[in-house]
A and B are shown apart, each in its own frame.
Chain A
Amino acid sequence: MARKLRVLIAKPGLDGHDRGAKVVAAAMRDAGFEVIYAGLRQTPEMIVETAIQEDVDVIALSILSGAHMTIFPKVLDLMKENGINDKLLTGGGIISEEDVEKLQKMGVGKLFGPGASTRDAVQYVKEWADEK
């Protein structure tokens, strides 16, 4: 059986809705991925624990709250601590170029702004998987 890409999609923080995350989830399903959809109010601990149990290849976070500079590094730390830093951590949100650069230096993958198309995100995940 062919290897299926498994992607965890989660929305950390207490703010708002998960419409954007759901759109991305649907696009990834349509691309043939298995999407584990964890929904709202996910803490970094929950995200990493879920990523372990589900053995996903990719963790994609939707962060609109502006908390990206605390959440992404925390998730990265926990990933290392739990020995799953071979997985890709990526995501989207309203993140300044400066912050994007900082986060990528730490080891976060590509980050997508609110205007990005879901096709780009799908493409990125595919390319990452091919290179792995």
Chain B
Amino acid sequence: MSKIIDELTKGILEGNRNAIARAMTTIENEEDGYVRLLSNIYERIGRAYRIGITGPPGSGKSTLTNHLTKILRKEGFKVGIIAVDPTSPFTGGAILGDRIRMHDLALDKGVYIRSMATRGSSGGLARQATELADVLDAAGYDYVIYETVGVGQVELDIAEAADTTIVLLVPESGDIIQSLKSGLMEIADIFVLNKSDRPGAERMQKDLEYALHLRESDHDWHPKVYQTVANQGKGTEELWTEMKNHRSYLDSENHLVNKRDRRLKNRIETVIRQRIEFHFWDDKRKKILKNYLESEKEKLSPYLLAEKMLEKLLKTFK
């Protein structure tokens, strides 16, 4: 096993695309050896700069990713793209269609695109996306772009995994205050008002700027709003300049180091939480839970049950 994993590691470091692909599958499915694989590449990561692009379905994320990638390619950078789409909660399946808008990149050897479904991961998405990005990082990609649909938890996860987070809105997004509440505002380093060829863009820009102005912030980075027409490539150069500004900001005064330290800490915490849960819920304990629901719930409070089930484990922590 470990021999296969070490071969895979070698392939990744050489930039071999088959090895990168296999490695990503191994990690996504948490197949045997995936921890070893991640540990193997750990010391080779940290070079790639990670950009998150999030926003409502159809707002132009893939189209924008396509254009930004072309700009990055022109500057000589290798680009990895991780395009995340939701898994259907009913069937467990997914249609991952972001490549349709990245047609032009399909044969560029300096670009690697991987589509990823959210699967069941609640809160684990940041970890998994980060791990896939690690593979691209170790393989020598200079930039990794995460594209994710902005729905609830997912975008918060992505902000966690990215160095610079871009939030996309469109004139049709409507009530800005609603978006403000949903947490989108907190995570954005840059706002993009895409489809600004459509009516309502100016108005939206003003509303957004006003809302941002009212917001209290303890940071010295103030997110700005950029208008783009992604399908025509309009405004993308300006956006790229602002992305570079944000990167220099992070590079100053240790912001990037702090951000990445936070990510590392989070990752350790997630791994520990998931491992403990995984081992905790063995067949015996699952049965206890089932029994409780069937015949004990009137007699015993859920807190007491949890306490009872944890008793032995908690002792080992002392």
Do A and B actually bind? Answer: yes
- Residues of chain A touching chain B, judged by Cβ–Cβ distance below 8 Å, are 1-4, 25-26, 28-39, 41-42, 45-46, 49-50, 52-55, 82-84
B14 to chain A, nearest CB (A): 14
- Residues of chain B touching chain A, judged by Cβ–Cβ distance below 8 Å, are 17-18, 20-22, 24-25, 28-30, 87-88, 91-97, 99-100, 103, 106-107, 112-115, 117, 119-120
Residues of B within 8 A of A2 (CB): 29
In the assembled complex, 16 residue pairs joining A and B whose CB atoms fall closer than 8 Å, in A order, are A1-B29, A2-B29, A4-B119, A29-B94, A31-B93, A32-B92, A34-B96, A35-B96, A37-B100, A38-B100, A42-B106, A46-B107, A52-B17, A53-B114, A54-B115, A55-B22
B94 to chain A, nearest CB (A): 5
Q: How far is the CA of A55 from the CA of B20 in the complex (A)?
A: 9
Are A36 and B96 in contact, CB atoms less than 8 angstroms apart?
Answer: yes
Known: A50-B106, A55-B24. 4 other contacts (CB 8 A): A35-B95, A36-B96, A37-B100, A39-B103
A39 to chain B, nearest CB (A): 4
Residues of A within 8 A of B88 (CB): 29-30
Q: How far is the CA of A52 from the CA of B30 in the complex (A)?
A: 19
* Given contact pairs A31-B93, A49-B106, A37 touches B99 in the complex (Cβ within 8 A): yes
Residues of B within 8 A of A25 (CB): 95
Residues of B within 8 A of A42 (CB): 106
Are A54 and B95 in contact, CB atoms less than 8 angstroms apart?
Answer: no
Provide the main secondary structure of the chain B interface. Answer: mixed
Question: Quick one: closest A residue to B22, CB to CB?
Answer: A55
Are B93 and A32 in contact, CB atoms less than 8 angstroms apart?
Answer: yes
* Given contact pairs A1-B30, A39-B99, A34 touches B93 in the complex (Cβ within 8 A): yes
Q: How far is the CA of A3 from the CA of B17 in the complex (A)?
A: 21
* Given contact pairs A28-B93, A29-B88, A53-B112, A39 touches B100 in the complex (Cβ within 8 A): yes
Q: How far is the CA of A30 from the CA of B21 in the complex (A)?
A: 25
Question: Quick one: closest A residue to B121, CB to CB?
Answer: A1
Partner of B119, one of A1, A28, A29, A83: A1
Q: How far is the CA of A29 from the CA of B87 in the complex (A)?
A: 9
Are B119 and A30 in contact, CB atoms less than 8 angstroms apart?
Answer: no
* Given contact pairs A1-B29, A45-B107, A53-B112, A37 touches B18 in the complex (Cβ within 8 A): no
Most buried by B among A26, A45, A53: A53
Are A36 and B99 in contact, CB atoms less than 8 angstroms apart?
Answer: yes
Are A31 and B91 in contact, CB atoms less than 8 angstroms apart?
Answer: yes
* Given contact pairs A1-B29, A39-B99, A84 touches B18 in the complex (Cβ within 8 A): yes
Most buried by A among B21, B95, B114: B95
Are B97 and A39 in contact, CB atoms less than 8 angstroms apart?
Answer: yes
Question: Quick one: closest A residue to B108, CB to CB?
Answer: A49
Are A35 and B107 in contact, CB atoms less than 8 angstroms apart?
Answer: no
Are B117 and A37 in contact, CB atoms less than 8 angstroms apart?
Answer: no
